[in-house]
Structure 1
């Protein structure tokens, strides 16, 4: 286009390039920039079930004669089989273990053979050993009170206690009559009504065995001392 001479031209205003304010986002799906922090929970120690404390194990050592020995066990063993109980003892052919009714014999190279194959804490045992020695067993103490049955006549009894106790305390609770007796392998005592036991046997010893004679049978209890 043509321009007229001497005309004045005003410059056209340049549009402002200043940044405009950012639009405000109001979406309800966005959290505020400085949202409050959740409360801090205290650290809790981990919870574990209470541990089971096993009963204390103890060892009973029984001295066996060369010949016969009255013995008993006052511990609950892992294994009461006769071959297990006597595994640590040198046995010879012809050695025997008896309870009140049955027995078993030892054969070198084989072991025990007979009707009696398991021991208990309910009876005493008569052990015949050619050479004698020390029998050692480990287990947990037999629970007391302990209930036993006395025959009308003789009954083979153990000593279930962990320490020596006077017979007046250690004898199982029972209605003893005149003439009833307790015997160890080398001592005895007799019961007198109104008095109690009188004789050379004055205590029950752990590991030893006893015979009791009662006029009438019935239940009896080894009490907790």
Structure 2
């Protein structure tokens, strides 16, 4: 599995009862984390990136020792991928040579929880559809947690116009405790379709931004981003 910087910005809070395996990084690595917990395609994940001033083959030798056996190795273009199953988890390391050394992404995927929580995710999507305008289709639904901030994104489409979607979204946000603060039409938001709009909402401990546009097939698209302070959640 290849890991990309954009592809992994998706997720939900980790399940605290699970004990996650840890991949030991080389001592010389400069690492960073992409949030406390992520979810990609319904699979809970923990992902770290790191840079090393050592050559890729040297870094790979160190990581092979830490991962243990049995291990799967593959190459995707100029990237080296190391992988190993560990109980209900799967460990993946992607390495590539860069100027001055090696860049890597290290991921731990909770496959067991992914299967267990798939039904819950489907139920959550159905709950959204019951609140959205008729003919709505959910295109993607993601979330990530970083410290005490929970960020979520909902992308959906329907055959309604921008005005109807705006009114429906305002009512929906009010039900969730957020009030419309500001709204800008397309002429003030150049990246939005001619009949689109951008809306900003705010509530106690949370805020949201919605971009209403139009897809090539003529259907309206809505991208709703919400940020909630976890201490404000019931």
TM beyond 0.5 = no
Structure 1 or 2: more helix by fraction: 2
**TM-score relative to the length of structure 2:** 0.25
Structure 1 or 2: more strand by fraction: 2
